[in-house]
């Protein structure tokens, strides 16, 4: 087989082995441990408009492999550092219903598949 490939479906540490043989049945092999580590890929818009038009009505993180993360926390703070929204459920977002138009800070803390604690901090503008 020329140019063998393998796609890993989860993070982790894996032992891989390549065995090669030539036309004279001379065989050789090589083993190596590789670590597969998925980048934290999150998408959140930098603004949202909870006006019930079906477009950006809920401020909700979306990302690759969200169901694989543990100890998930999503918190939104107003400009005075007060919590206006908090959840530990990846499918639950903020509707902005009780807030006025302003800029808010959001924080996501989670443990990824390799057990690494990840933290993202950014801002979102609530437009009403």
- With H, G, I as helix, E, B as strand and everything else as coil, classify residue 68: helix
Domain boundaries of the chain, sorted by first residue: 42-126
Per-residue pLDDT of the chain (128 residues; tens, 9 = 90+): 677 888 888 778 899 998 988 999 999 999 999 988 777 778 899 999 998 888 889 999 998 778 888 999 999 999 999 999 999 999 999 999 899 999 999 999 999 877 889 999 999 999 99
Nearest to 106 by CA among 60, 64, 70: 60
106 and 122 Cβ atoms separated by less than 8 Å: yes
On whether the pTM is more than 0.75, the answer is no
Q: Taking the domain 42-126, which CATH number applies?
A: 2.60.40
Cα 88 → chain centroid:
14
**CA terminus-to-terminus distance, the chain:** 59
């Amino acid at each position: 087989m020329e140019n063998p490939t393998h796609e890993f479906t989860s993070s982790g540490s894996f032992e891989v082995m390549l065995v090669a043989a030539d036309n004279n049945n001379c065989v050789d092999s090589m083993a190596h441990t590789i670590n597969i580590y998925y980048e934290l890929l999150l998408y959140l818009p930098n603004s949202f408009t909870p006006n019930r038009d079906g477009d950006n009505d809920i401020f909700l993180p979306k990302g690759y492999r969200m169901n694989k993360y543990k100890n998930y926390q999503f918190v939104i703070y107003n400009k005075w550092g007060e919590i206006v929204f908090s959840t530990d459920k990846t499918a639950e977002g903020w509707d902005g219903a009780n807030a006025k138009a302003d800029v808010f800070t959001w924080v996501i803390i989670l443990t990824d598949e390799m057990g690494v604690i990840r933290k993202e901090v950014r801002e979102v503008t609530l437009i009403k």
